[in-house]
A and B are shown apart, each in its own frame.
Chain A
Amino acid sequence: MKVWQCLVCSFIYDEAKGDPEHGIVPGTKWDDVPFDWSCPDCGVAKADFEMVEVN
């Protein structure tokens, strides 16, 4: 499971936790997050994220 960080606002996407509030179940790999998903904090699209660390 990897952890990703939003390029713009520093929101963390943790694959283990997912984003259940927005329909992304825990354990969803970043690759499997749909393209129309955007950062819940600032709204930037999936394409503008960058990986910060691998756990």
Chain B
Amino acid sequence: MEKRPVVIIGSELAGYTVAREFRRLDAETPVVVLSRDHGGFYSKPMLSNAFAQKKTADSLLMKDAEKMAAEVKIEVRANSLVTAIDPKLKQLTVNGEPFPYGKLVLALGADTIKLPLQGDGADAVLSVNDLDDYRRFRTAIDGKKDIVILGAGLIGCEFANDLVGDGYKVQVIDLAPQLLGRLLPPESAAFIQQKLENEGIVFHLGTTTQKIEKAGERLRLALDNGKVILADVVLSAVGLKPRTSLAAAAGIKTNRGVVVNSFLQTNFEDIYALGDCAEVEGRVLPFVMPIMAAAKALALLLTGKPTAVHYPAMPVAVKTPICPTVVCPPESTADGEWKVEASVDGVKAVFHHTNGQLLGFALMGAAISEKAVLTAQMPALS
């Protein structure tokens, strides 16, 4: 009997990286990547800084499904929607047909969170979560001028930086009183806000959008603080929610994400999860570096060598060239406080535990040169 394949649901970075890492260790076992879309490989982090680099959706697509299959020596099935998992029979339902697996990897990704907005223009709000979304967004802003971004977090700030200039006027709305609320102390947030404002970006902070109504070709946003602003295009960037419903329906344990242990294993022996859909030992880390670390560990597990994922301290580069920024935020439970040193050309913020241990940092401008030194002083996450 032919060996049952390792089946990977998801063709973004997590799915393809597991496939690649596994193939390096095992040249024989069949591997199938199931993609609900075109299945081509592209860099998702580049979606929020591709415009200034003059990259289109087509030029962002690095390798199509066929090329990925040939290069990694796997099978890639595009336009293959998985609607059910049967852990007992070890079988999926793909486009309505049964599809057996030997081992199953969930690299399902995450959905963008949609704010509950009122008004007849609410449906016109766009979000960019994959290459097809990006294509729609680029088409929508073509020849337009006023862009409003909902959310001043990482993705919102990156898009704002990417679009400002080149004829675009950008406004950003966030309920939080500062930018990058979960990542920065207020003094650092004020620094990047000033830099972005100097380039023409307008922020509406501490308020939220009540209603979006059509106004001819444009959209009219009514804010909580009474302001009314007009936009040609509204982009929502308020966060991600791990995709868990497929797993939950199959009896796989979910919480914020698909629950896995440090070996990336779910509550079923042959089902694993990683990437933006996964909650690894209580942590959801939708960034590239944790995905690479998880893919390496999972590839080993798939070859029968269970290896706990090792997360070193993982700084995140915020792609805002107007104000280069690197953050390594303390965990939400961390006990300690920020200390901020600002100069004219940068800001260094460090978060120390009361016992003196460094638990986080945020660097801007010239202070970025201290990234490697500070990272080396950080404890590993796991």
Q: Which residues of A contact B (CB under 8 A)?
A: 7-11, 21-22, 38, 40-44, 50
Contact = CB atoms under 8 A, between A and B. Distances in A.
Interface stretch (B219-227, B265-273, B287-295): B287-295
A9 B293 contact: no
A6 to B, nearest CB: 8
Most chain A beta-carbon contacts within 10 A, residue among B43, B53, B314, B373: B43
A40 B317 CA distance: 9
Nearest to B317: A41
B25 interface: no
Contact of B288 (A21, A22, A42, A50): A42
B45 A8 contact: yes
Nearest to B50: A10
B371 interface: yes
Given A8-B13, A43-B288, A43-B292, A22 B45 contact: no
29 contacts: A7-B43, A8-B288, A9-B43, A9-B46, A9-B288, A9-B317, A10-B43, A10-B45, A10-B319, A11-B317, A21-B371, A21-B372, A21-B373, A22-B372, A38-B292, A40-B371, A41-B288, A41-B317, A42-B45, A42-B287, A42-B289, A42-B292, A43-B288, A43-B289, A43-B292, A43-B293, A43-B314, A44-B288, A50-B62
Contact of B45 (A9, A38, A40): A9
Given A9-B45, A10-B53, 12 more contacts: A8-B43, A8-B288, A9-B43, A9-B288, A9-B317, A10-B45, A21-B369, A41-B317, A42-B45, A43-B289, A44-B288, A50-B62
Contacts, number: 42
Contacts of B373: 21
Contacts of B45: 8-10, 42
Nearest to A47: B20
A21 B317 CA distance: 15
Most chain A beta-carbon contacts within 10 A, residue among B317, B371, B373: B317
B290 to A, nearest CB: 9
Contacts of A10: 43, 45-46, 49, 53, 319
A13 B282 CA distance: 34
Contact of A44 (B46, B292, B369, B371): B292
Interface in B353-382: 369, 371-373
A43 B288 CA distance: 7
A9 B62 CA distance: 13
Contacts of A7: 43, 62
Contacts of A8: 13, 43, 45, 288
Nearest to A38: B292
Nearest to A11: B317
A42 B293 CA distance: 10
Interface string B16-56: 00000000000000000000000000010110010001000
Contacts of B49: 10
A22 B369 CA distance: 12
A15 B380 CA distance: 30
Nearest to B316: A41
Contacts of B319: 10
Contacts of B289: 42-43
